Chain A
Amino acid sequence: GAVVSQHPSWVICKSGTSVKIECRSLDFQATTMFWYRQFPKQSLMLMATSNEGSKATYEQGVEKDKFLINHASLTLSTLTVTSAHPEDSSFYICSARESKETQYFGPGTRLLVL
């Protein structure tokens, strides 16, 4: 199957700093990428949909000014957690859509905010 990479795989940062997470589709072009967040023992919750060349679509309750998404090319989307706080500590997973019914997940980024 197709490959989606995420970088970094884990990050520890101080409260108040910003963290950028990259999501890349390695062998296909993805006009749509998704950013999910997963807290312990919870399911994946969609945060936002990243659309190449246009603004991201944020789900209810997700602050667009705090979670900045940039989808600058057909193979790269970035999520920046600005002014991170301990409650932002979570497992962030991106996925890239290859077709309407097919999306591939990245390996995830574990964020710990101290």
Chain B
Amino acid sequence: GQNIDQPTEMTATEGAIVQINCTYQTSGFNGLFWYQQHAGEAPTFLSYNVLDGLEEKGRFSSFLSRSKGYSYLLLKELQMKDSASYLCAVPGYSGAGSYQLTFGKGTKLSVIP
């Protein structure tokens, strides 16, 4: 199975940089996803890492270390609209045998002025 751990809540100031960590345990690694979810909305894709290292995409970057079972999402130049939950997810097989995404509980980020 899969197990994902990430902080429940974080607060950061507009314009600052914030790092959201995720640790995972999975049998058979097939990459790691980060999704953004605004309250009351479905998740939207941010990044997918399958190799070690940092991948940068605009203000958002995602890092992966497979040996440590660790990833982080880095958000730069924070904007108020970045206030959302950030979900770490890994693909794998569910209890019923479906190949699907298992999500962490999400980190609720609050950006303050």
Contacts and interface: CB of A to CB of B under 8 A. Distances in A.
Interface residues of B, number: 25
A57 B98 contact: yes
Interface stretch (A11-19, A39-47, A70-78, A80-88): A39-47
Given A43-B106, A60-B95, A101-B30, A93 B42 contact: yes
Contacts, number: 58
A105 interface: yes
A59 B95 contact: yes
B51 to A, nearest CB: 13
A100 B100 contact: no
Given A43-B87, A105-B44, A57 B96 contact: yes
A8 B105 CA distance: 26
Interface in B74-100: 87, 91, 94-100
A106 B105 contact: no
Contacts of B98: 34, 46, 49, 57, 59
11 contacts: A34-B98, A44-B87, A46-B102, A48-B96, A57-B96, A57-B97, A59-B94, A59-B95, A59-B98, A60-B95, A110-B40
Interface of A: 1, 34, 42-44, 46, 48-49, 57-60, 91, 93, 95, 100-101, 103-108, 110
